[in-house]
Chain A
Amino acid sequence: MTRVALLLLGGLLLVAPAQAAEFRVDAEPNGAIIIKRPCDGGPCSNGKYLVQLPEGRWLRISNDAYVTRENGELVLHEGKTRTVLPKSGLILKDAEGRSAVVLTEGVTGTR
């Protein structure tokens, strides 16, 4: 969980505060980050895509971390640690195909 928290804090986006600002994810091409806060305004609300991650596909967060969907649940893998993320988590994509996993509630625990 500590590593999750570090990831969450480390995974900071973002851009200008204007409501109509373009949504951009500060990650490498085809990469992803995790944001832990409500998506209640600003560029986050203008996310161009909201996606349901297909079963078995994964989003690369860092060299040893990725998010995938397993049996309908979003799961964060960090090394050997597997953490089930809340079902309310959103995945936003920017125009370049980079993704942000937005968590508005706490993670549900490690399995």
Chain B
Amino acid sequence: MKIGIFYEAQLPRPWTHESERRLFADMLTQIELADRLGYDYAWVVEHHFLEEYSHMSAPEVFLGAASQRTQRIRLGHGILQLPTSHPIRVAERAAVLDLLSNGRVELGLGEAQGPIELHPFGARVRDKREQWEEAVQALVPMFTRTSVEFDGRFWKFPARNVVPKPYQTPHPPLWVACSNINTIASAGRWGMGALGFQFVSPEAARAWVNRYYTELTRRPAKLADYPSNPNIAMVSGFMCAATDAEAREKAAGWTFFVFCLSHYGRHGIPNPGQGNMWEAYQEWRQTPKAQETLTSGLIGSPETIRRRLREFEAAGVDQVILLNQAGRTTHEDICASLESFAREVMPEFHAREPEHQRWKADVLAGRIELPELDTDTYKVYAHQNEDIVRLTPDELKRKMAEKEGRITATSDPSRPA
């Protein structure tokens, strides 16, 4: 199993003039440490306007800096938002980062979180899946072709040679964000790596891993001409300490992450710059749900984490991505946790990686046929609430159209409210 680390760039209020500078400096130090300790991937999100939850709005700049302070670790966009960036700019930035890092880029692609992020860029929630698919079709040829023109619904441009080209050939491996668990099946069909969250149980992990590889091998439907990237990775809350109790105490940041994710999804940002997520979080963090959240991650002593990780490894998960930097978890605790895990847990999982790769090669070649297990039972990740609303792209479009219709009806003085 490969091991990654994950960065949202969380920064709870209150802030000082130094806060953001210190945050970015610390994260770079942590990635440098992870590189030395043998971690395989450093993943960085792209989010806009999500105060306190994520201050990583320019991940390519951050990873550019990381590329100059590391030697071996893979540098992952987890993910870049396609609806909020022109595909040409995405291709250019990914290629430059790949060159600067001597070919260490992993290119995750996603749709953005919702209206908070999409609307200022002129993108709409109802269009984001179609826009994302079209952007993938526009983007991929730019990495290899010397002339690309495009005339789609969302993107139109005349023939150009997009330079530079990436160092990796034909281009960095492609991944897709699977914040909605059902997207894992699509990721398989698209032949992209799946970036999801921790499954509720080893059984759920096995069902979704089997589903992913089944879709990939039996129902392929790529969006463009690119090599498959057969990988399924899961992001987990993480803290490794001497005892389970100490780890839970230090991992309060994970509950802040879960709280913010849910809060922004439900409430948006009514007053930009005026909110205080950290204050709002204080009441919630004492609830049973918050305490339960602490059990959903890889949080505990080395022995506890080792035991949980073996179960996901046995289910066929290719990579676990450790979310360490969250809430007010300190730089010192993050570094100590990375060191403890690397020393006491990671080696045995790295040692079994060749065995896993042989299993995967057999699956991809059809020498092992995975049973299609029921994934309908597992419709949420471990950190998600059962009652959250998850809509398909078509359902989302219908809902938004209905909502817009209601707004139009109530704001038109010539029509009854």
A residues apposed to B, CB below 8 Å: 38-39, 45-55, 72, 86-88, 90, 102, 104-105, 108
Contact = CB atoms under 8 A, between A and B. Distances in A.
A7 B144 CA distance: 28
B403 interface: no
A104 B225 contact: yes
Nearest to B145: A50
A52 B221 CA distance: 18
A88 B225 contact: yes
A80 to B, nearest CB: 25
Contacts of B147: 47-50
Contacts of B138: 52
Listed residue (B145, B150, B225) with the most chain A CB atoms within 10 angstroms of its CB: B225
Contact of A49 (B149, B222, B223, B225): B149
B153 interface: yes
A68 B327 CA distance: 51
A52 to B, nearest CB: 4
B171 to A, nearest CB: 14
Contacts of A50: 141, 145, 147-149
Contacts of B159: 49, 51
Interface of A is mostly: loop
A72 B151 CA distance: 11
A74 B224 CA distance: 12
Contact of A108 (B141, B146, B151, B221): B221
A50 B147 CA distance: 6
Given A51-B151, A72-B130, A105-B220, 14 more contacts: A38-B225, A39-B225, A50-B145, A50-B147, A51-B150, A86-B221, A87-B137, A87-B222, A87-B223, A87-B224, A88-B223, A102-B225, A105-B221, A105-B222
A88 B224 CA distance: 4
B221 A46 contact: no
Q: How large is the interface on B (under 10, 10 to 19, 20 to 34, 35 or more residues)?
A: 20 to 34
The 9 closest A-B pairs by CB, nearest first: A54-B151, A88-B222, A52-B150, A50-B145, A50-B141, A50-B148, A51-B149, A49-B147, A87-B223
A108 B189 CA distance: 12
A37 B14 CA distance: 58
A86 to B, nearest CB: 7
Contacts of A51: 148-151, 159
A20 B137 CA distance: 25
B35 interface: no
A51 B137 CA distance: 10
11 contacts: A47-B145, A48-B146, A48-B147, A49-B148, A52-B151, A53-B151, A72-B130, A86-B222, A87-B223, A88-B223, A104-B225
Contacts of A47: 145, 147
Contact of A55 (B149, B150, B153): B153
Contacts of A72: 130, 133-134, 152-153
Nearest to A47: B145
A65 B147 CA distance: 27
B140 to A, nearest CB: 9
B151 A87 contact: no
Contacts of B134: 72
Nearest to A102: B225
A82 B153 CA distance: 22
Contacts of A45: 144
B383 to A, nearest CB: 32
A72 B224 CA distance: 13
A55 B224 CA distance: 17
Contacts of B153: 55, 72
A52 B153 CA distance: 10
Contacts of A87: 133, 137, 221-224
A71 B93 CA distance: 30
A31 to B, nearest CB: 19
Contacts of A55: 151-153
Contacts of B130: 72
A24 to B, nearest CB: 15
A39 B220 CA distance: 17
Interface in B141-189: 141, 144-153, 159
Contacts of A53: 151
Interface in B357-397: none
A104 B225 CA distance: 7
A90 B145 CA distance: 11
B139 to A, nearest CB: 11
Contacts of B137: 52, 87
